[in-house]
Structure 1
Amino acid sequence: MMGKAGVTGALMVLLLQATPGWAEDPDTPALSFDGFGTVGAVHSNEDQADFVSEPFVSEGAGYSADVSARVDSRLGLQLTANFAPRHTGVVQIIVEQRHDGSYTPTVEWANLGYAVTPDLTVRVGRMVLPTFMASQHRKVGYANTWVRPPLEVYGLVPVTNIDGVDVAYTARGHGLNNRLQVTFGGTDIDLPDDREVKARDGFTLANTLARGPVSLFASYSEYRLSLELRPLFDGFRSFGPEGVAIADRYELDDKAFKVLAVGASYDAGAGFLTGEWGRTRSHSFLSSSRGWYLTTGYHFASVTPYVVLARRVVTSNTSDPGLSAPQAQELNATLNGLLSDRPQQRSIAAGARWDFAPGVALKGQFDYLDLDDGSRGVLINEQADFRRGGNVCVLSLTLDFVF
């Protein structure tokens, strides 16, 4: 598999080199340029840990900053090219906080598409990973009612794109619109500690069925994940068969990671109701988790108030007795630190969206997080005085825009 730079770089070169040819056909739009962004500010009353909207970043609101613009702020630019009636290309660049705290622009999408028929398309390159209902626009704040997608579900799979091949088929009839999407590929995920999760042999099947105000969604994904933690698990293996069994059980070395998600939405133009449920399974220290949320609200002209209820739990063990040998206590403690680090919490949020100008929306949201005993929830950067469990209040204000 080509690396990230190889795949996206080659596609961007193809797009840019083709630019002069597009303008020769006056009936075909040569280029379309679009953008989106969010300017946000977030305050958390927990000053011994950081509230974040993505788990793979280095700073958030709380410990690192009393009021943080890093949590939700981003800028996105998208270039779409029509080479011919059946050939298209897309490049999307996003600037947001990265794993190392920088704001280096990253390529979110870079793909070439071919319409086999008006209803069947094939894409190759980097494209959206369609795990959840809002995957296509989860980074476009203006396209979402909430300040951010509920972390109890969308945090189950915080990866948003994949390098590979995508096939989509749309069927219409009897008032129904059904879109079936299949993706194959992999990706690399950078972590704040300079390590990297490798996802290979990925497969996602997603289906959306819509009729009038009702939309139903379901997806299934499976990947082979690897993360370099060899010193820890080689340490367990050095204790013989008992240690080997523990290492084989928890080491993330080409292990299957499976995701099932379903959702439904009703929006008749006034009141609306949306809900999703997701489940992950992994025979590794990543454990298995479930999450769900329900959102309801009402459109009052340009103002939309809403509430969100959400829950996330770990369904596998969050501790292990490990090895009985006194010399293995440090290994046991490290393993249990990994197992107990999976977020568990329930939350309630209330907010409002004000569409006060074309292409611009102002949002405010208050989140009350109830962390499970022994859990950090979705917080990061725990300090010595942080106490797991308990409650956290988060206040967010964002200005979303598209152009």
Structure 2
Amino acid sequence: MKQETAWWDLALRGLLLALMWAGILWPGPGWAEEAAGRGLAWSGFATLGVAHSSEREADFAGTFSQPDGVGATRRWGLQPDTRLGLQADLPLGAPWSASAQALVEYAHHGRWQPALSMGFVKWQPSPAWSLRLGRLPWSAYLTSDYRKVGFSLPWVRPPQELYMISFDHADGVDLGWRGQWGDSSVRLQAMAGRSSRNVVTGHWRGNRLVGGNLVIERGNLTLRAGHLQYGAFSIELPAVDSVLDQVAQLDPAGVAALRFRDRAVGYTTLGLVWDDGTWLLQAEVANGRMSRTYLPDGLEAYVTVARRFGSLTPTLTLAGLRDHNLRRSANPVLQQVIDAGQSRGMHTVSLGLRWDARPSLALKLQLDRVRHGSGQTGMLSNFQPGFEPGRGFRVLSLAADVVF
């Protein structure tokens, strides 16, 4: 399936190549802040990534918001990992400031689209307390505040088993506090608001969000625990909703039990990082509870081990996603809907190598071996007639990450 290369695709490639050369020539991050002095400060990041999938009958994509990727649509592609981010920070007079971040990446309508990934006003009356209002990071993970900044990550992309099934941001307010507990640094965060996300086949919407996070740092060790709860979560997928609407005429109770409209859902995460400058151990586990709709609860986890040898860092990552608390229906049509929603099971073994070529430039190579559960499709999309569920495949990724 061949696609024409649009002008914005070519323009983005040219801009990212220019930023790569800038990352090679510039001495390091922070130049914009230093030049800006006490006024408006600019900074940015970019990833020029190319990926290849051995699965030719379906597409491997970077997120659920991407309509295609590599595999069936194209052998090699920039779509899964390539992005550009620009951030502006403006002091408004103590204790006020404002920040905004624009992110360009391959989006749900098949184009490279800029979007506001962050934009908030911050009030910080003391070093211990802060309050932010606006568009905030979706604070569920160890890397929530910077997971799109490839340079800050050990991988080409965060493990999909955990990070792909999520929102990108939350619109609302958060309150933060930091202090000391003996020899440990403690951070607390409470937040409230709502979230939304366009996906290829529809839209996710989460209202009445409340949540909190606890982070404890002591020496080389960081521990994190968090929970986010939506009081009214909806998944709008026209293809699924159309089937449910038809069946509702004959089985209204069965459809009502499965329909994903204004449901209470929760997401709990635990994370750990050990980093002594030579060895890195990072692990997270999450449990998503979906109110027993046509989507099952999901248990997601990964562990990464890395060893630094000067500017070279090889990595090994094991990741897995398992559905549990599965529903059953006596109605065969509804059972087909349930089976489609219960097909995410997968696990991945990843080998990677990072080379910090410059203070602001990292080059990465990563090989993923992905296996699905029997009859399952994992995170693949754009299935072709010859696709076989449950079949394993490999993904080869190369990326250049810069910050400026």
Q: TM-score range by the shorter chain?
A: 0.7 to 0.9
* Aligned-pair Cα RMSD in Å: 1.6
Is 1:210 equivalent to 2:248 in the alignment? no
Q: What CA distance in whole angstroms lies between the structure 1 residues aligned with 2:88 and 2:341?
A: 42
Aligned residues: 364
Counterpart residue identity of residue 207, structure 1: L
Secondary structure of the structure 2 residue equivalent to 1:127: strand
The residue number in structure 2 matching 1:83 is: 92
Counterpart residue identity of residue 374, structure 1: G
Q: What CA distance in whole angstroms lies between the structure 2 residues aligned with 1:354 and 1:385?
A: 38
Is 1:187 equivalent to 2:195 in the alignment? yes
Q: What CA distance in whole angstroms lies between the structure 2 residues aligned with 1:280 and 1:173?
A: 31
Tell me the alpha carbon deviations over residues 333-356 of structure 1, each in whole angstroms, 9 at most, x when there is no partner: 652453334x11111100110001
Secondary structure of the structure 1 residue equivalent to 2:277: coil
Q: CA deviation at 1:316?
A: 2.6
Q: CA deviation at 1:65?
A: 0.9
The residue number in structure 1 matching 2:281 is: 273
Q: Where do residues 250-399 of structure 1 align in structure 2 (5 Å cutoff)?
A: 250-283=258-291, 284-317=293-326, 320-323=328-331, 331-332=333-334, 334-341=336-343, 343-399=344-400
Q: CA deviation at 1:155?
A: 2.2
Q: What CA distance in whole angstroms lies between the structure 2 residues aligned with 1:185 and 1:378?
A: 28
Q: TM-score, normalised by structure 1?
A: 0.87
Bigger drift between 76-85 and 283-292 goes to 283-292
Q: CA deviation at 1:255?
A: 0.5
Tell me the alpha carbon deviations over residues 55-96 of structure 1, each in whole angstroms, 9 at most, x when there is no partner: 221111111110011110000000001111210100000000
Counterpart residue identity of residue 233, structure 1: L
Q: What CA distance in whole angstroms lies between the structure 1 residues aligned with 2:335 and 2:267?
A: 28
Q: What CA distance in whole angstroms lies between the structure 2 residues aligned with 1:210 and 1:197?
A: 34
Q: What CA distance in whole angstroms lies between the structure 1 residues aligned with 2:371 and 2:37?
A: 54
Q: What CA distance in whole angstroms lies between the structure 1 residues aligned with 2:241 and 2:276?
A: 53
Structure 2: unaligned runs, 5 residues or longer: 1-35
* Aligned residues with identical type, % of pairs: 27
Tell me the alpha carbon deviations over residues 243-274 of structure 1, each in whole angstroms, 9 at most, x when there is no partner: 23321221011001110100101001111111
Tell me, yes or no, if the aligned pair for 2:56 and 2:71 is still in contact at 8 Å.
Answer: yes
Q: What CA distance in whole angstroms lies between the structure 1 residues aligned with 2:225 and 2:254?
A: 34
Structure 1: unaligned runs, 5 residues or longer: 1-26, 324-328
Tell me the alpha carbon deviations over residues 22-44 of structure 1, each in whole angstroms, 9 at most, x when there is no partner: xxxxx971111000010001000
The residue number in structure 1 matching 2:13 is: none
Is 1:57 equivalent to 2:66 in the alignment? yes
Counterpart residue identity of residue 172, structure 1: Q
Secondary structure of the structure 1 residue equivalent to 2:123: strand
Q: TM-score, normalised by structure 2?
A: 0.87
Tell me, yes or no, if the aligned pair for 2:295 and 2:342 is still in contact at 8 Å.
Answer: no
Q: What CA distance in whole angstroms lies between the structure 2 residues aligned with 1:337 and 1:116?
A: 52
Q: What CA distance in whole angstroms lies between the structure 2 residues aligned with 1:390 and 1:125?
A: 43
The residue number in structure 2 matching 1:232 is: 243
Q: What CA distance in whole angstroms lies between the structure 1 residues aligned with 2:37 and 2:82?
A: 35
Q: CA deviation at 1:365?
A: 0.4
